Structure 1
């Protein structure tokens, strides 16, 4: 590869198959750059990824699963994983340029095929050479946009985007409660609610315990 502005040439050596049947059966390779202005190429390391699927009915999936691992030095890009079965731990090896400390992962499925829903319990990532401690991520939060619709005896409040939490900067994380203030007319007695998310992120999944709605003017507190 040649940088047109500098005329600097970079070489990316592979020396491995891109095949599901040859070598280590990987279809994606990350190749560090080599060139005159690069004193030392970034090292390629192996990450062991353990994916835990919950022991619940319908928890497994035969859809296509993907993961992206983020660290101090960037991310791996989206990598495909194989099928996950109910009550099972799947182990994968991902080769990538060293990310150093692992910060987060984004994991999900494409929703294609029967049984494309998937209940993942947790993901554990560790470097094969043991240089860094294993990092565990619990899979019960979401990064997507959440909306709420409130049905009252007098009138229904249309979908409300729950964007800015009053008490927590990072919304919808494991083990926390998020508080939102909604200004609207009197709905009367609240009968039920409808809550969901836009699903724009591949594999977006969120485990919600309950919702509380406090109506100070009516001195009413609802829990759904």
Structure 2
């Protein structure tokens, strides 16, 4: 998920980076955090190049043109939700640094560190499920994974029950059963394993598409909110998306939707068709400062022809 804000509480995200070589200059805009405690928690990102014209236009328009490229970049990448189940055995949890590589029919993701669990602060504990986000350019159909750890820490052995990988843009959720130790003193002593998906446990559904949702909070006293803001999109023939929270956690809820702010999110949702007839947006209330004065919302998506 991409998100931007024109009133960020800290310094701005990474600026566009250019790499020059004979025959032209390649521009790789990022405008996202590489931080465990920010965004989706990733500290490594794959970037795709954009046309030089966008960068020149950006310098003339105070950075606004690159801010609109998130949707186009998202259309070229795949976001994977990775769930990892640690077994319910004595000493099954690990304090080691866990990594994963996804292998597709076209390419692989390279080694990705699983550092920021969306569910548990203390990750890879006995009997627990942790959830991570992995983002990559198109690697094709997912064929296998390699998962392991660096064997560091006081309790480094690990019993891995299974890994589940959901790719909404591909319309697939695959289960990778393991049920083995990754421990130098257990089983065969391996601390890395290559695992293939269980065909009978694969779920297929209609692929999701990326939407760019920009939320404008009004410029009046008390307009901002710290509540959990959600949105639903409605297309023709009664088709609608699931209710989607725009913030990942309470920390983001406190950062966004401030008075006179503009917050942009790139989210993957069900495809409601080429025409969006209406939206439903609101919040779940609760806590202090939950009241919100919303000015307006814009929604943009790429049509099949790329426009």
**TM-score interval, normalised by the smaller of the two chains:** 0.5 to 0.7
Find the counterpart in structure 1 of residue 178 from structure 2. 139
The reply to whether residue 50 of structure 1 matches residue 83 of structure 2 is yes
Find the counterpart in structure 1 of residue 109 from structure 2. 76
Change (3 A) 1:35 1:141: farther
The reply to whether residue 11 of structure 1 matches residue 27 of structure 2 is yes
CA contact (8 A) 2:40 2:133 kept: no
Equivalent residue runs for 1:168-183 within 5 Å: none
Q: Structure 2 unaligned segments of length 5 or more: list them.
A: 1-18, 53-71, 116-122, 182-186, 195-307
Match of 1:204 among 188, 192, 206: 192
CA contact (8 A) 1:46 1:94 kept: yes
Find the counterpart in structure 1 of residue 159 from structure 2. 119
Equivalent residue runs for 1:145-160 within 5 Å: none
Match of 1:108 among 144, 148, 170: 148
Alpha-carbon distance in structure 2 between the residues aligned to 1:14 and 1:90: 27
Aligned length: 144
Find the counterpart in structure 1 of residue 132 from structure 2. 92
Map Cα deviations across residues 93-135 of structure 1 (whole Å, 9 max, x no partner).
1111122310111101110011100010111111134x33212
| TM-score, scaled relative to structure 1 | 0.57
Alpha-carbon distance in structure 1 between the residues aligned to 2:165 and 2:41: 20
Map Cα deviations across residues 19-66 of structure 1 (whole Å, 9 max, x no partner).
223333321111113358xxx977122101011111110111111100
Match of 1:63 among 91, 96, 116: 96
Change (3 A) 1:78 1:10: same
| TM-score, scaled relative to structure 2 | 0.42
Find the counterpart in structure 1 of residue 40 from structure 2. 24
CA RMSD of aligned residues (A): 2.7
Which one has a larger percent helix, Structure 1 or Structure 2?
2
Q: Structure 1 unaligned segments of length 5 or more: list them.
A: 143-194, 207-224
Alpha-carbon distance in structure 2 between the residues aligned to 1:94 and 1:30: 10
Match of 1:2 among 16, 20, 31: 20
Q: Which runs of 4+ in 1 moved over 4 A?
A: none
Q: CA offset at residue 196 of structure 1?
A: 4.8
